[in-house]
Structure 1
Amino acid sequence: MRQTLLALAAIATMAVGTAHAQSGSYVIDPSHTFVTFEIGHMGTSTNRGRFDKKEGTVQLDTAAKTGKVDLTIDATSLSTGTAAFNKHLQSADFFNVEQFPTIKFSADKFVFTGDKVSEVVGSLTLLGKTNPVTLKASNFNCYQNQMIKREVCGGDFDTTIQRSQWGMTWGANYGFPDAVHLIVQVEAVKQ
């Protein structure tokens, strides 16, 4: 009986959370938001890294099916788990963090499937160049966070970019691919 009540409470909470979001301003929660990248390594394995510092805001109106996002990533916070690899990626060969310490993603078009965000269409500014990017949602939800007593919306988004569009071409002659898979796991807290 107790398990049945707990299951019903969980279902009710999820139902309220999904239907709850209407319109509002949200601040990205850096402890639940991660921007990671993956690139093939010589056709053998996959190199991965992430940016540990990021901040931003989201405007979301599920009734009007509109949204806006501004995300700033601290490129100097790049982390692969290996200090020497971090240093090389931060160099002018790749992210050139000395000259370009921030990466920005801005979007003003949200695509909805039903009441769920399915795509975010915007632009990525990297190495001083801005190009269009569409992030596809593999997960999206809004819920009432019981610990902070506020609504939280977020999901998992991803895309594959061609790094050469931003002038990042180092290693292409060694066999490093142009395609980079970007994954953005984000949660934002309603203000």
Structure 2
Amino acid sequence: MSKLLTTAAAIILVATPVFADVVKDASKVEAGSYNVEPYHTRVLFSVDHMGFSSYYGEFTKATGSLVLDPAKPDASKLDVSVDATSISTPSDKLTGELKSEAWLDAGKFPAITFKSTKVTKIGAETAHVTGDLTIHGITKPVTLNVKFNGAGINPLDKKYTTGFEVSGKIKRSDFGVKTYVPLIGDEVNLIISGAFEKQG
């Protein structure tokens, strides 16, 4: 009977999830250099589809770095690159079209980049990040809304991780991507969930 109880206890311990001890106060995040954690970073977008619906897609590959100091949030630096060829939609045909010369021309312009030029703290957990966004070989200044999610040690890989939710709007025609405007919306909504792992 004692063996049965011991085995049951072991099963319960193994099955019990290990939760991360996440800090929700942005002022307590560890300062330092971070890299994009690509497996839990999502770069999504949506556009109006003929007035019937919002059509969503995403880019599945992102890399980049973040320099962060909660004591000096205005001095933070963000440098991110998204692989334009990693664009993905529910339609294989549309995905191929979006990579073509008529849209992103991903063969010629394989990288979408964002380099911050200014960080403005708005609230305890929010900020505006202004930077140079390059799409389709054209660079324009863009301001994004950033909300701090949390930070702490990832219990699975033991790496210190911090995460943010990012949103913003751009006009694709500003970047030379004008196919089917205005039938397909010119305004693109950006929805980004970014995870960053501390280096060193």
Give yes or no for contact 1:28–1:189 (8 Å, CA) kept in 2: yes
Q: Does 1:129 align with 2:147?
A: no
Residues 1:22 and 1:63: Cα distance change in structure 2 (over 3 Å): farther
The number of equivalent residue pairs is: 180
* Identical positions, percent: 32
Give yes or no for contact 1:22–1:63 (8 Å, CA) kept in 2: no
Give yes or no for contact 2:27–2:71 (8 Å, CA) kept in 1: no
Q: Does 1:37 align with 2:27?
A: no
Specify the structure having the higher radius of gyration (Cα).
Answer: 2
Q: Which residue of the other structure, out of 11, 19, 25, is the alignment partner of 2:33?
A: 25
How big is the shift at 1:152? 1.1
* In 2: Cα distance, 1:111 partner to 1:187 partner: 20
Q: Does 1:164 align with 2:173?
A: yes
Tell me which moved more, 102-111 or 143-152.
Answer: 143-152
Q: Does 1:182 align with 2:190?
A: yes
TM-score, structure 2 as length reference: 0.82
Structure 2's unaligned 5+ residue stretches are 1-18
TM-score, structure 1 as length reference: 0.86
Residues 1:15 and 1:182: Cα distance change in structure 2 (over 3 Å): closer
CA displacement 1:144-170 (0-9 Å, x = unmatched): 222222321111101010111101111
CA displacement 1:29-66 (0-9 Å, x = unmatched): 00111111100100001111111111111100111112
SS for the counterpart of 1:81 is coil
Q: Counterpart in 1 of 2:12?
A: none
Higher share of residues assigned strand = 1
Residues 1:167 and 1:138: Cα distance change in structure 2 (over 3 Å): same
Give yes or no for contact 2:98–2:104 (8 Å, CA) kept in 1: yes
How big is the shift at 1:126? 0.5
